[in-house]
Chain A
Amino acid sequence: MAMRESFPAALRPTGFGALARRVAGLPLGVTVAGLWLSAMVVIALGADLMLPYSVTAFDLKARLMPPVLFGGGIAHPLGTDELGRDVFSRLLLSIRMSLLIAFFGTLIATTLGTALGFLAAHFRGRVESVILMAIDFQASMPFMIIALSVLAFFGNSLPLFVALMGFHSWERYARIARGLTLAANEQGYAAAVRQLGAGPGRIYGLHILPNIASTLIVSMTLTFPEIILLESGLSFLGLGVQPPLTSLGNMVGYGREYITRAPWIMLAPAGVIVLTTLSISLLGDWLRDRLDPTLR
């Protein structure tokens, strides 16, 4: 061990030891957040394989059983609902649905916003004015209202809903992309590469995008929890994810009926929502400090 430490840094063996040291250097909150989120991602990807029970499996003899430490058995660690369905299984599927919606929504918002920001900065003139007006409009109305209006007019299907989530906060990315591209164009590296003879694909893809990536990623850590909150709010109201599909929000909505008799049905998904958004916020704050000290 001592021998290793005395080697010059360039020659030190990399691998698990080095990784462990970096992880140990992180603040406690960030580590815990990271672990929680990793667990969530694993669930999101492999929920089907992890279900102890099928979500629709009734067990009328085991109705409204409390969770394992409150009087119930290990067979149903988070208790059961009115029809004896396992809460834990439903929770796993809900996590998957909510995370997938948030993930794709964030992806859509980032792609759409960045593309529009690039277009505005590249073409200027009327194109830019229209895009700026759209940005102003989006930023001035609370998205919940816009979302509700769209849901009223178009009804509710899952693809539409995910697309709608993708419209949340796209203006943030458009502003970033436009601002940083304009700066790069004026007297910056983008102008320099352009006059070398590079085409737009090279300029935006190889130069501008990598340079603004860290700022975009930090914004994504804001959008992701916001979409989780938005989706769960809408699903809670019965306007988001519709049964038989289940999400964290509509599970809370369902559990609301049983708040007096079986509060765990509501508390489990609520707890997951809070812990997940908290973890992403912590991670995002830390990431922001590391990647972009100029941002506050």
Chain B
Amino acid sequence: MTALLEAIDLRREYRVHTGRGPFAAKGVLRAVDGVSFEIEAGRTLGLVGESGCGKSTTGKLALGLIAPTSGSVRYGGAAMPPGGSTSWRELRRKMQMVFQDPLGALDRRLPVGVQIIEPLVIHGTLPPNEHRERARAVMDAVGLLPHQFDRYPHELSGGQRQRVVLARALMTEPNLLVCDEPISALDVSIQAQVVNLLLDLQDRLGIAYLFISHDLRVVRQVSHDVAVMYLGRIVERGEAESLFAAPAHPYTRALVSAIPVTGRGAAPRREQLLLQGDPPSPVDVPAGCAFHPRCPFAAAQCRSEPPSLEVLPDGRQVACHRVNEPALRVAA
């Protein structure tokens, strides 16, 4: 089955000043450092990691919003056109982004209904007299009431605004939605509603998601596959349930062990894997394995040679030199 979206060895670098003043030293910020993945139609790939690991940049690269320094993106087998070009703009019908801040993503001066209809106006896929009809249908699907069509963004709640953004994204019947921290800005109770909505839409409409988040519990809930990023590289990739149940890479293990467990003594106490040190800056990526300064299992090889993603027998991909040593594996 050919993947809907393919990312091949994406790299994105930025030139930055590491000091102040006109004579400051310059460095290279490797936001994304050799990332490859596929997204299948109708399935969700979750992308997790700490702040600054490059997940948002990866999302933008996947859509072609920014151009990679090297590497390529293919959609439906064809290369992604350069951002801003006419063919790229036409491709927007099929792929959309949902941002973290719904209030920022909406124009304060226009009623939300007008903004929901806007994709139809831009792409001209439907005759104008059918726009409102279609908007009503989509609003209904995301759980908005018809009278909210005329409301302004600041008159709605956070959850409603995110629904508006979703409705707008769905108007042209896209195949792929890149969701960049779509629920981080919402209240916890609303988060659950929006997550259920996303799952529901995927069931009914067969949309694929690239779900970017730092919240592992939510990612576990919505994803079929998960990729874990650290300092611009994917360190582990696999099927969601088994990855969370039995994480292989030390970083993933640390992340998973940090998930708070509710209830007293209900689940068996997991081993807590604590990381030392602070996350280093993406300008100053350590040599060898990027994770080695904080890894409790770091060996000589880890300090000199960067590991590549190895495919394990069960289909899991892990980038760690010591992944096959049974002594380091802990039963879930």
Q: Which residues of A contact B (CB under 8 A)?
A: 187-189, 191-193, 195-199, 202, 207, 210-211
Are A195 and B109 in contact, with the CB atoms below 8 A?
Answer: no
The 3 closest A-B pairs by CB, nearest first: A197-B92, A192-B105, A197-B89
**Contacting residues of chain B (290-321) with chain A, CB-CB under 8 angstroms:** none
Are B119 and A196 in contact, with the CB atoms below 8 A?
Answer: yes
- Name which residue of chain A comes closest to B65, CB basis: A195
Interface centre among A189, A202, A210 (most CB of B within 10 A): A189
The answer to the question of B176 belonging to the interface, with a C-beta cut-off of 8 Å to chain A, is no
**Contacting residues of chain B (93-130) with chain A, CB-CB under 8 angstroms:** 93, 96-97, 99-101, 104-109, 118-119, 122-123
How many angstroms from the CA of A189 to the CA of B89 in the assembled complex?
A: 17
The answer to the question of B63 belonging to the interface, with a C-beta cut-off of 8 Å to chain A, is yes
Contact residues in A for B90 (Cβ distance below 8 Å): 197
Contact A211-B96, Cβ < 8 Å, known A187-B101, A196-B168: no
With A187-B99, A192-B106 known, 7 other A-B pairs at CB within 8 A are: A189-B108, A195-B92, A196-B92, A196-B122, A197-B90, A197-B91, A211-B108
A-B contact pairs, 28 of them (CB 8 A): A187-B99, A187-B100, A188-B104, A188-B105, A189-B104, A189-B105, A189-B106, A189-B107, A191-B105, A192-B104, A193-B118, A195-B63, A195-B65, A195-B96, A196-B96, A196-B118, A196-B122, A196-B168, A197-B89, A197-B91, A197-B122, A198-B89, A198-B118, A198-B122, A202-B122, A210-B109, A211-B108, A211-B109
Are B107 and A193 in contact, with the CB atoms below 8 A?
Answer: yes
Contact residues in B for A210 (Cβ distance below 8 Å): 109
Are B107 and A207 in contact, with the CB atoms below 8 A?
Answer: yes
Number of interface residues of B (CB under 8 A): 24
Number of A-B contacts (CB under 8 A): 51
How many angstroms from the CA of A207 to the CA of B106 in the assembled complex?
A: 10
Minimum CB–CB distance from B260 to chain A (whole Å) comes to 29
How many angstroms from the CA of A156 to the CA of B108 in the assembled complex?
A: 46
Contact residues in A for B107 (Cβ distance below 8 Å): 189, 193, 207, 211
Contact residues in B for A207 (Cβ distance below 8 Å): 107
- Name which residue of chain A comes closest to B91, CB basis: A197
Contact residues in B for A191 (Cβ distance below 8 Å): 99, 105
How many angstroms from the CA of A207 to the CA of B105 in the assembled complex?
A: 12
How many angstroms from the CA of A175 to the CA of B89 in the assembled complex?
A: 29
How many angstroms from the CA of A191 to the CA of B105 in the assembled complex?
A: 8
- Name which residue of chain A comes closest to B88, CB basis: A197
- Name which residue of chain B comes closest to A202, CB basis: B122
Contact residues in B for A197 (Cβ distance below 8 Å): 89-93, 119, 122-123
Contact residues in B for A188 (Cβ distance below 8 Å): 104-105
How many angstroms from the CA of A198 to the CA of B104 in the assembled complex?
A: 17
- Name which residue of chain A comes closest to B98, CB basis: A192
How many angstroms from the CA of A191 to the CA of B97 in the assembled complex?
A: 10
B 43-71 to A, binary, CB cutoff 8 A, 1 in contact else 0: 00000000000000000000101000000
Minimum CB–CB distance from B82 to chain A (whole Å) comes to 14
How many angstroms from the CA of A191 to the CA of B91 in the assembled complex?
A: 16
How many angstroms from the CA of A202 to the CA of B123 in the assembled complex?
A: 12
- Name which residue of chain B comes closest to A210, CB basis: B109
How many angstroms from the CA of A195 to the CA of B90 in the assembled complex?
A: 10
Contact residues in A for B109 (Cβ distance below 8 Å): 210-211
How many angstroms from the CA of A196 to the CA of B123 in the assembled complex?
A: 9
Contact residues in A for B89 (Cβ distance below 8 Å): 197-199
- Name which residue of chain B comes closest to A195, CB basis: B97
Are B92 and A187 in contact, with the CB atoms below 8 A?
Answer: no
How many angstroms from the CA of A193 to the CA of B108 in the assembled complex?
A: 13
Contact residues in B for A211 (Cβ distance below 8 Å): 107-109
- Name which residue of chain A comes closest to B100, CB basis: A187
Interface centre among B99, B101, B105, B165 (most CB of A within 10 A): B105
How many angstroms from the CA of A271 to the CA of B168 in the assembled complex?
A: 57
Minimum CB–CB distance from A290 to chain B (whole Å) comes to 16
Minimum CB–CB distance from B26 to chain A (whole Å) comes to 16
Are A192 and B122 in contact, with the CB atoms below 8 A?
Answer: no
Contact residues in B for A187 (Cβ distance below 8 Å): 99-101, 104-105
- Name which residue of chain A comes closest to B107, CB basis: A189
- Name which residue of chain A comes closest to B97, CB basis: A195
How many angstroms from the CA of A177 to the CA of B313 in the assembled complex?
A: 57
How many angstroms from the CA of A60 to the CA of B99 in the assembled complex?
A: 78
Contact residues in B for A202 (Cβ distance below 8 Å): 122
Contact residues in A for B92 (Cβ distance below 8 Å): 195-197
Contact residues in A for B101 (Cβ distance below 8 Å): 187
- Name which residue of chain A comes closest to B178, CB basis: A195
How many angstroms from the CA of A176 to the CA of B89 in the assembled complex?
A: 28
Minimum CB–CB distance from B134 to chain A (whole Å) comes to 15
Contact residues in A for B165 (Cβ distance below 8 Å): 192
How many angstroms from the CA of A192 to the CA of B63 in the assembled complex?
A: 13
Minimum CB–CB distance from A126 to chain B (whole Å) comes to 14
- Name which residue of chain A comes closest to B171, CB basis: A196
How many angstroms from the CA of A193 to the CA of B96 in the assembled complex?
A: 11
How many angstroms from the CA of A187 to the CA of B102 in the assembled complex?
A: 10
Contact residues in A for B123 (Cβ distance below 8 Å): 197
How many angstroms from the CA of A188 to the CA of B109 in the assembled complex?
A: 13
How many angstroms from the CA of A54 to the CA of B33 in the assembled complex?
A: 79
How many angstroms from the CA of A198 to the CA of B107 in the assembled complex?
A: 14
- Name which residue of chain A comes closest to B180, CB basis: A187
Minimum CB–CB distance from B261 to chain A (whole Å) comes to 34
- Name which residue of chain A comes closest to B165, CB basis: A192
Minimum CB–CB distance from B125 to chain A (whole Å) comes to 11
How many angstroms from the CA of A197 to the CA of B104 in the assembled complex?
A: 18
Contact residues in A for B108 (Cβ distance below 8 Å): 189, 211
- Name which residue of chain B comes closest to A197, CB basis: B92
Minimum CB–CB distance from B90 to chain A (whole Å) comes to 7
